[in-house]
């Protein structure tokens, strides 16, 4: 009976964590460039139950034998959350510092990102093109990360009256001055989600420059941003399913609790 407690409790914990993930998705439905998470649920290894018996094979000896009862599932857990790198909708903002990165021809499993870096030069990757200019004219994210060019250097401009071509070339007063750096991840799932729309590459992740790469195509649109790819209707439906699963496990746990209470207070009572 105690195994039933643990199995039901593990189901409640898994659905609680799934609900937290879905809540975060819905909360970021209007966050530019946000990539929704998906839950991966997995069952614990099954146990094979056997009954140990003894037989009087010889008058002076008892031999142990086993009888197979069957397998027992020991519960479920949420193994990991995996971002969904599907292109979000494009929304017009008419802000010259806003850039939308639109995927073109890409290998399966790959994805494109803006390349940004913090003060220490640590590289990060994002799909959030809601940029701004700081006091020194550097193009930055709202979190203060510098947007890098195709050579990995910071982009510095005179003012916000610049234009960005579909291939990422930046022009001021009709003169080409820089190029927005775009990175490509062969396997986007190798990236680690850090929050604020930022991703970090694992040590063994392969990141390539997408600029002037004949095997990769993309388009930049100035004055637009990529919206979140969260489907609110689907997320709400999945949340209701998670709630119902949580309640079902809760009722099972309550039933076990009542059975244990009866076993302790009634069956085991001395008369």
> Residue length, the chain?
271
Overall pTM surpassing 0.85 (yes/no): no
Whole-Å CA distances, 35 to 26, 58, 81, 88: 11, 70, 12, 8
Query: In this predicted model, what pLDDT tens digit does every residue of 222-244 receive, in sequence order?
Result: 999 999 999 999 999 999 999 99
Non-local (6+) Cβ contacts of 85 within 8 A are 35, 111, 188
The DSSP H or E segment spanning 238 is: helix 232-262
Half-sphere exposure of 259 (CA within 13 A, CB side): 10
Q: Output the CA angle 139-142-147, nearest 5 degrees.
A: 30
Query: In this predicted model, what pLDDT tens digit does every residue of 93-124 receive, in sequence order?
Result: 999 999 999 998 888 888 999 999 999 989 99
Domains of the chain by residue range: 2-82+239-255, 86-226
The DSSP H or E segment spanning 13 is: helix 2-27
């Amino acid at each position: 009976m105690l195994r039933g407690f643990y199995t039901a409790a593990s189901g409640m914990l898994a659905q609680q964590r799934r609900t937290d993930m879905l809540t975060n998705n819905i909360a970021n439905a209007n966050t530019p460039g946000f990539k929704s998470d998906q839950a991966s649920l997995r069952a614990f290894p099954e146990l094979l139950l056997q009954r140990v018996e003894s037989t009087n094979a010889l008058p002076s000896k008892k031999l142990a034998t086993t009888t197979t009862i069957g397998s027992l599932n020991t519960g479920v857990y949420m193994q990991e959350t995996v971002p969904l790198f599907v292109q979000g909708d494009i929304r017009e903002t008419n802000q010259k510092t806003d850039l939308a990165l639109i995927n073109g021809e890409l290998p399966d499993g790959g994805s494109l990102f803006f390349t940004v870096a913090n003060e220490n030069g640590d590289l990060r990757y994002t799909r959030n093109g809601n940029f701004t200019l700081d006091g020194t004219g550097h193009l930055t994210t709202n979190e203060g990360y510098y947007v890098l060019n195709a050579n990995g250097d910071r982009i510095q401009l005179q003012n916000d009256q610049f234009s960005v071509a579909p291939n990422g070339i930046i022009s001021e007063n009709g003169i080409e001055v820089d190029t927005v750096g775009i990175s490509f991840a062969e396997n986007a799932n190798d990236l680690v989600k850090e929050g604020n729309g930022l991703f970090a590459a694992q040590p063994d992740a392969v990141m390539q420059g997408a600029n002037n790469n004949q095997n990769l195509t993309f388009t930049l649109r100035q004055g637009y941003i990529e919206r979140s790819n969260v489907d609110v209707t689907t997320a709400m439906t999945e949340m209701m399913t998670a709630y119902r699963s949580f309640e079902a496990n809760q009722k099972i746990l309550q039933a076990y609790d009542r059975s244990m209470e009866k076993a302790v207070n009634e069956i085991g009572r001395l008369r």
